[in-house]
């Protein structure tokens, strides 16, 4: 009788293990059946916006993405945005590819426009101009000289 019980226990254990293996073991999918990988989001998506990646502010690009003009050793940043007590550009910064802040300018609602000018550092070829709006977050324009 004991042998019969052990035989049944062993049989049930084997069937249970086989069933779990079937349930747990994933089916191999062909390339056509495999789900597509989600598209990679740009770095800082939803935190920092750009003309190429405006996120929730797709209709705000023209008045928020900083425009850059390089003349000689000067970099001008302009954000074509109105300036009022309730809605204005707070700040511009110019940052190197290495993360060094070249310059920064803070604006006030009473300023006529969000315009700034900085001296271009020697040997730097890739830079980022940022513009921060009090309602529509931080925007960046990447550029090379």
Residue 43 lies in a domain: no
- Going from the C-alpha of 130 to that of each of 29, 30, 38, 95, 113, the distances in angstroms are 45, 45, 29, 8, 15
Residue 11 lies in a domain: no
Residue 116 lies in a domain: yes
Overall average pLDDT of the 121-125 stretch: 95
Overall average pLDDT of the 130-141 stretch: 98
Residue 118 backbone zone (phi > 0: left; psi -120 to 50: alpha; other: beta) = beta
Residue 34 lies in a domain: no
Can you give the residue range of the structural domain that contains 103? Answer: 48-144
The tally of domains found in the chain comes to 1
pLDDT attached to residue 28: 60
Residue 104 lies in a domain: yes
Overall average pLDDT of the 79-88 stretch: 98
**In this structure, what CATH number is given to the domain that contains residue 136?**
2.60.40.730
DSSP codes of every residue in 33-100: TSPPPPPPPPTTTTTEE-SS--GGGGGGHHHHSPEEEEETTEEEEEE-----SSS-EEEEEEEETTS-
Q: What is the pLDDT of residues 31-72, one digit of tens each?
A: 666 666 666 777 778 889 999 999 999 999 999 999 999 999
Residue 1 lies in a domain: no
């Amino acid at each position: 009788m004991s042998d019969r019980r052990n035989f049944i226990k062993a049989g049930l254990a084997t069937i249970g293990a086989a069933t779990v293996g079937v349930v747990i073991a994933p089916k191999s999918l062909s390339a056509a059946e495999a789900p597509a990988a989600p598209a990679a989001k740009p770095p800082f998506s939803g935190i920092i916006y750009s003309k190429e990646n405006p996120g929730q502010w797709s209709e705000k690009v023209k008045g928020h993405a900083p425009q850059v003009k390089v003349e000689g050793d000067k970099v001008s940043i302009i954000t074509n945005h109105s300036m009022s007590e309730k809605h204005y550009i707070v700040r511009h910064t110019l940052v190197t590819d290495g993360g060094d802040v070249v310059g920064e300018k803070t604006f006030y609602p009473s300023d006529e426009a969000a315009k700034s000018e900085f001296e271009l550092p020697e040997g730097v070829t890739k830079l980022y101009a940022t513009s921060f709006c009090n309602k529509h977050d931080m925007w960046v324009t990447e550029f090379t000289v």
